[in-house]
């Protein structure tokens, strides 16, 4: 049996929903989000900009690379312009598997995949790539002989070094063929003072944040060909299309898209 939804602890998925202006969150999530906003008032703008990156990178996959399969890992609660909506608007035959370990996401994702036989949902932890790959839903929708966009957007900072986030990315990318993409964003320490970084990491969030430097984020792309403009701040990935965030704001995400050679 799947675990029940816990409304006594803040959930990253529901806090993110709150930052995006969604309604699928509880008081405990809003209270925790307010603590983040005290140190980083730009968190709401950053969430919106992160969604812009996710949309822009999905377009890049369909339009520039002809990718028709998406594994959206740590997909979050359904919001506007979900990956299948963006991809299928351009390529109606695109298939998308959403994966998240939060039972709240499962509850809200059910409605999303009704009437769409090219979209599926797997409740799983990204720390168990084999479970995700061998799931009947994934096996039905994804052909691992053809390129896949592996999306890890704003999720790897929930994985501590002790759980080998680099090994997770490698295991996933080992499963997909040449021409596949890694689409990734990650909270970085690059713009943040050590004091604020420490305060953010010390918060009693349900899942603690693991901030990483730009260099450490770039390491996720090891062995892959990073496409221009490289591993950059979100708003630099598609300048003009992704809204600028206050350059001095401490909370920043780095992002990038890379092709498996
Ligand atoms: C900040 S949200 C990002 C949602 C979406 N990818 C985006 O960028 O808009 C992070 C999501 O990752 C999920 N998550 C965190 N740790 C996870 C794990 N170990 N396995 C699967 N999902 C995880 C959370 O439940 C949450 O829904």
Whether the pTM exceeds 0.85: the reply is yes
Q: Is any atom of ligand 1 closer than 6 Å to the C-beta of 154?
A: yes
pLDDT at 89: 95
- C-alpha of residue 157 to centroid of ligand 1, in Å: 9
Which atom of ligand 1 approaches the CA of 158 most closely? 16
CA distance 113 to 178: 28
Is residue 92 packed enough to be buried (19+ CB in 10 Å), middle (13-18) or exposed (0-12)? Answer: exposed
CA distances from 244 to 42, 48, 126, 189, 192 (A): 11, 11, 30, 18, 17
**Which H or E run contains 172?**
helix 165-174
Which atom of ligand 1 approaches the CA of 79 most closely? 9
pLDDT tens digits, one per residue of 60-84: 999 999 999 999 999 999 888 999 9
Is the distance from CB of 62 to CB of 91 less than 8 angstroms? yes
Our mutation pick for probing the ligand 1 site, out of 6, 10, 16, counting the most ligand atoms within 8 A of Cβ, is 16
pLDDT at 91: 96
Region 107-118: mean pLDDT is 79
Q: Which residues pair with 72 in a beta bridge?
A: 98, 151
Which atom of ligand 1 approaches the CA of 152 most closely? 6
pLDDT tens digits, one per residue of 185-221: 999 988 777 777 777 777 666 678 898 999 999 999 9
**Which H or E run contains 132?**
helix 129-134
Region 82-105: mean pLDDT is 94
Q: Which domains does the chain have, with CATH numbers?
A: 12-259 (3.40.50.150)
Q: Is any atom of ligand 1 closer than 6 Å to the C-beta of 126?
A: yes
Q: Is any atom of ligand 1 closer than 6 Å to the C-beta of 150?
A: no
Region 108-124: mean pLDDT is 84
Q: Is any atom of ligand 1 closer than 6 Å to the C-beta of 78?
A: no
Q: For the ranges 17-26, 53-62, 83-92, 200-209, which has the lowest average pLDDT?
A: 200-209
Mean pLDDT of the chain: 90
pLDDT at 245: 63
Q: For the ranges 76-90, 150-164, 230-244, which has the lowest average pLDDT?
A: 230-244
Q: Is any atom of ligand 1 closer than 6 Å to the C-beta of 221?
A: no
Q: Is any atom of ligand 1 closer than 6 Å to the C-beta of 256?
A: no
Is the distance from CB of 14 to CB of 77 less than 8 angstroms? yes
CA 41 distance to own-chain centroid: 21
Q: Which SS3 state, helix, strand or coil, does residue 18 take?
A: helix
Is the distance from CB of 52 to CB of 242 less than 8 angstroms? yes
Strands, E assignment, 163-223: 181-188
Single out the residue of 133, 152, 150, 4 nearest to residue 67, CA to CA.
Answer: 150
Q: Which residues contact 144 (CB under 8 A, 6 or more apart)?
A: 133, 175, 176, 177
Q: Which residues contact 30 (CB under 8 A, 6 or more apart)?
A: 18
Q: Is any atom of ligand 1 closer than 6 Å to the C-beta of 22?
A: no
Q: Is any atom of ligand 1 closer than 6 Å to the C-beta of 100?
A: yes
């Amino acid at each position: 049996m799947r675990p029940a939804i816990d409304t006594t602890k803040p959930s990253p998925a529901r806090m993110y929903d709150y930052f995006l202006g969604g309604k699928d969150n509880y008081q405990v999530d809003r209270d925790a989000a307010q603590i983040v906003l005290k140190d980083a008032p730009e968190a709401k703008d950053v969430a919106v900009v992160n969604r812009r990156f996710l949309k822009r990178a999905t377009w890049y996959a369909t339009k520039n690379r002809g990718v028709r399969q998406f594994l959206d890992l740590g997909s979050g609660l359904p919001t506007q312009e979900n990956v299948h909506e963006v991809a299928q608007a351009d390529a109606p035959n695109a298939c998308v598997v959403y994966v998240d370990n939060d039972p709240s996401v499962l509850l809200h994702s059910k409605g999303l995949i009704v009437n769409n036989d090219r979209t599926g949902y797997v409740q799983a932890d990204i720390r168990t790539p084999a479970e995700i790959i061998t799931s009947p839903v994934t096996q039905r929708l994804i052909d691992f002989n053809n390129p896949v966009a592996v999306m890890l957007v704003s999720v790897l900072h929930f994985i501590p070094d002790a759980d080998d986030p680099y090994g997770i990315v490698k295991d996933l990318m080992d499963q997909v063929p040449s021409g596949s993409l890694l689409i990734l964003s990650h909270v970085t320490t690059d713009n943040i003072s050590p004091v604020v970084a420490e305060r953010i990491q010390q918060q009693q969030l349900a899942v603690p944040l693991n901030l990483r430097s730009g260099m450490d984020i770039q390491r996720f792309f090891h062995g892959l060909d990073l496409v221009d403009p490289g591993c950059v701040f979100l708003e630099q990935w598609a300048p003009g299309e992704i809204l600028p965030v206050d350059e001095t704001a401490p909370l920043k995400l780095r992002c990038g898209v890379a092709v498996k050679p």
